[in-house]
Structure 1
Amino acid sequence: MHNLNFKPKAFLFDLNGTMINDMEYHTLAWYSIMTEDLGAKLDYENVKKEMYGKNHEVLERVFGKDKFNAEEIERLSIDKEKRYQEGYMPHLALIEGLDHFLERTKEANIPMAIGSAAIPFNIDFVVDGLNIRRYLDAIVSADDVKTSKPDPETFLKAAAALNIAPADCLVFEDAPKGVESALNAGMPCIVLTTTHTIEEFEGYPNILGYITDYNDAKLNTLF
């Protein structure tokens, strides 16, 4: 880490790829819908690059703003999330070490929140499926913000819900757009290398360090 002296007053977690290693299943669900159902000429890697923001934003980036009406977007979104949950359910698990990290944080009386572009349907699937709601003091979902990451709204709302100044929050993220969102919110960030390579995060000055899971000894400096 670049700043071993930073002592956060709150932890803000992205969800997908950060608390659970599930981004492959989101991508597979979208890939199936886009290529098989909607006829898009995209390979898996190109679909993966679009995996950020709200569902309607993903569809608009790939197909254009006028391709689907609101009813069609809602139907496609529900279909995608059902395919994702069906595929990921047998593998539902916290990233290694996170269970102990959450417990340690709770014992240290450091508040925690989720700030995610996921819809409540998916957040509840994870939070209740893994029985971690007791650790969380706030949840900000796609339904709670007007503008998705890299806009800072998600993390700023999470900090406000905890009544903690943005500069005193530490964000855990796995995606460049999420790190950019934290930067725009004035928050330092730790990156999980579950989804992207370290090289993909070049140029972000708010990154304190990189970890593969929550067993990393560098996290001990946060308490």
Structure 2
Amino acid sequence: MHTLNFKPKAFLFDLNGTMINDMKYHTMAWRSVMNEDLGANLDFETVKKEMYGKNHEVLARVFGKGKFSDEEVKKLSFDKEKRYQEGYFPHLALIDGLADFLEKAKKRNIKMAIGSAAIPFNINFVIDGLKIRDYLEAIVSADDVTISKPDPETFLKAAAALQLSPDDCLVFEDTPKGVESALNAGMKSVVITTTHSIEEFEDYPNVLCFINDYHDLKLNTLF
């Protein structure tokens, strides 16, 4: 078994695609809004490539900056999140092995936080729906940062909230942009391969390992 030569004091989790495998439902919701409401006629894969950052950033990438007013962005974002929650709710579940992993970390006094580009509306939907709030000492959402990943602000704020230095934190991520954010924050990362292939992370020296889920025995060496 590959041994991870690192004993972090905190685990920082991205949310979507990292704690829950829900990115398909975000893409479906955005595609519905973009095609049915905005007449974009985009296929699933095209929409999927734009699924990172804050909602207003997604809209700006796809339709151009300044296309929508602040009120329009707010309404489109709400409609998208409502469709996402309606679509994903019947499938709401932690990624395999994560429930036990969280419990083990808590017993070992490892601090845990979420650092996500999701809005509080969606974060609360997940953590309260799955009853995992008690494991988390901090939550950094889209509303808490000025610049989205790959800027390091999200993870640096999470580390600060836990009163730990960045090099004591290990980031769990599923996207290259998220791993780049961890790198920019001076943090190591574990990649879960829910949404991207291993080859897409070859430029990031901070990746300790790749896992399919949290049953992976390599994770035992972190404790």
Bin the TM-score by the shorter chain.
Answer: over 0.9
> 2: CA distance between counterparts of 1:185 and 1:3?
24
Correspondence 1:138 to 2:138:
yes
- After the TM superposition, which residues 9-88 of structure 1 pair with which residues of structure 2 at under 5 Å, given as runs? 9-88=9-88
> 2: CA distance between counterparts of 1:197 and 1:2?
20
2:101 aligns with: 101
Alpha-carbon RMSD across the aligned residues, in angstroms, is 1.1
Identity of aligned residues (%): 78
Q: CA deviation at 1:166?
A: 0.2
Structure 2 unmatched runs, 5+: none
- After the TM superposition, which residues 68-217 of structure 1 pair with which residues of structure 2 at under 5 Å, given as runs? 68-217=68-217
> 2: CA distance between counterparts of 1:2 and 1:215?
14
3-state DSSP class of the match of 1:94?
A: coil
Distance 1:211 1:191, change over 3 A: same
3-state DSSP class of the match of 2:131?
A: coil
> 2: CA distance between counterparts of 1:192 and 1:22?
13
3-state DSSP class of the match of 2:209?
A: strand
In the superposition, the TM-score normalised over structure 1's length comes to 0.98
Contact 2:142–2:148 (8 Å) recurs in 1: yes
3-state DSSP class of the match of 2:62?
A: helix
**Alignment deviations for residues 110-142 of structure 1 (CA, whole Å, 9 cap, x no partner):** 000000000000000000000000000000000
Contact 1:3–1:208 (8 Å) recurs in 2: no
Q: For residue 131 of structure 1, what is the amino acid of its counterpart?
A: K
Q: CA deviation at 1:62?
A: 0.4
User: How many aligned residue pairs are there?
Assistant: 223
Q: CA deviation at 1:199?
A: 1.1
> 2: CA distance between counterparts of 1:5 and 1:175?
23
